[in-house]
Amino acid sequence: MKTQRKNFTRSAIARYWLDFQIKNKKLPPWDKSGWDPGEPACMACGWWQKSWDAGKTMTARWTSAIGLEKCHIVPLYLGGADELSNLVLMCGICHHAQPDSKDPQRTFNFMKDRTLLDRISGTALVTGFQALEAGKSVEEAARLALKKMQT
């Protein structure tokens, strides 16, 4: 019988990492620049949307952060737990690029090294591949990818 996965909210995940920070008096293991739990953003590259800041409370802001995905630090299929301590929030681009590893430090290092430029170039790369699959020339695919990076 398959076990039912827990459905943690984005705000519960953010609250877990805020409590971690307070309890341990240090930044979360993935943080590189002083994470602000009141400002929803990808915990890897920092991508955010202005509309997420509209909420009056931390919970409301994280709840409105549609586009941030719940990511297991150690994937379930590699033995990771379906618990708050094994979850972070990432944009789809970073989640897709995240390494699958039993070692949580590998994911934390990936997150520390990730930048917004990585996300933008990843999005551009996807755009280029989609253009090629749609039958566009290599030159057209490259032009579309470059245009995507500039927006």
**Residue 65 counted as domain residue:** yes
Task: Please check whether residues 57 and 46 belong to one and the same domain.
Answer: yes
Total tally of structural domains belonging to the chain: 2
Give the global pTM.
0.78
The 10 Å CB-count burial string (b at 16+, else e) for 3-20 is eeeeeeebbebbbbbbee
Using one digit for the tens of pLDDT, what is the confidence trace for 113-148? 887 766 666 666 666 667 778 888 877 767 776 676
For 100, other C-beta atoms within 10 Å of its C-beta total 12
Using one digit for the tens of pLDDT, what is the confidence trace for 91-102?
998 999 899 999
Q: For 79, left (φ over 0), alpha (ψ -120 to 50), or beta?
A: left
As a whole number of angstroms, the distance between CA 128 and CA 126 comes to 5
Structural domain boundaries enclosing 119: 115-151
